[in-house]
Amino acid sequence: MTAGLAALLLQALPATAVANECETDSHWGGSLEFDYTSNFYEPGSYNEMRTAGLNGILDYRFENGSKASINLAGTHSFDNPKGQYWKDGWLKYGNSDLFTLTESITLGLDGSLRLPMSEQSRKDDLHTSLRVATPLSIDLTNLLDGLEFTWQPRLMKNFHEYQTRGGRSLKEWTLENLLSLDYTGWERWSFNASLVFNSHRTYQGARQKDDYIHAESVYYDLTDNWSIGLMYSNAGIVYDLERGGTGSIELFDKRNATWSALISYSF
């Protein structure tokens, strides 16, 4: 996992896991977040990876409660190789509270369109991706004030120019399952623990691999708009086409684990 993967995970999390939204009468809102991310290898070693990233979200809220947003992000890599790189952008429209199932359970629906801006997407001749998500949120205030659980299954369809690239089969379908636990009940502090399972299928219909990313973060609100935070994340593979099952989820793997320092501005 590269040092910038923590920033990628941030894009996958619900907005409440990144920064608290400001109460405002304006239909416009969003956030701007800077992160410094590093792995756990010794400074100066060949495997050291450090990045500085910027992630921006601009959204517009409609009267019916739905929201349209654009998410753009980029990183500066200090190591192997050095340089500035765009990440894929996303256009999104949806409503996280579309259906109220009970007093404490809501079901949403949203769709996203990928903007293939990253170097890898350009190498793979990716035109775009369509992703549909159905977030299910459960208010756990009866257990602990400020506690909420979210399960968000997401199905993504890629659209490449070719089905293979450089002798390898490209991913056509990805099924993502995001599990997220948020706690915002302690003064200016907020906490999040998230786990994402991904299952991939190639254009030939073969199951390619199942992987995961988990992250734990803590934020402190300096003001109504500014917050600082720390994040730890790790990634791994639980199934590989060639090797089969490769084990269970690991809390720490030096090859893949990263930590991030974050500064966020929301409006």
How many CB atoms within 10 Å of residue 144? 11
What's the pLDDT score for residue 21?
47
Number of domains forming the structure of the chain: 1
> Among candidates 8, 151, 169, 207, which has minimal Cα distance to 90?
8
Give the residue numbers spanning the domain of 151: 4-266
Q: Tokens 């299954």 — which residue?
A: 153
Above pLDDT 90, what percent of the chain? 82
Is the pLDDT assigned to residue 173 strictly greater than 50?
yes
pTM to 2 decimal places: 0.88
**C-alpha atoms less than 13 angstroms from C-alpha of 27 in its C-beta half-sphere:** 10
> Among candidates 221, 205, 215, which has minimal Cα distance to 264?
221
pLDDT in tens, 129-148: 999 999 999 999 999 999 99
Read off the CATH number of the domain in which 26 is found.
2.40.160.40
What's the pLDDT score for residue 22?
52
Omega before 135 within 30 of 0, i.e. cis: no
Average pLDDT, the chain: 91
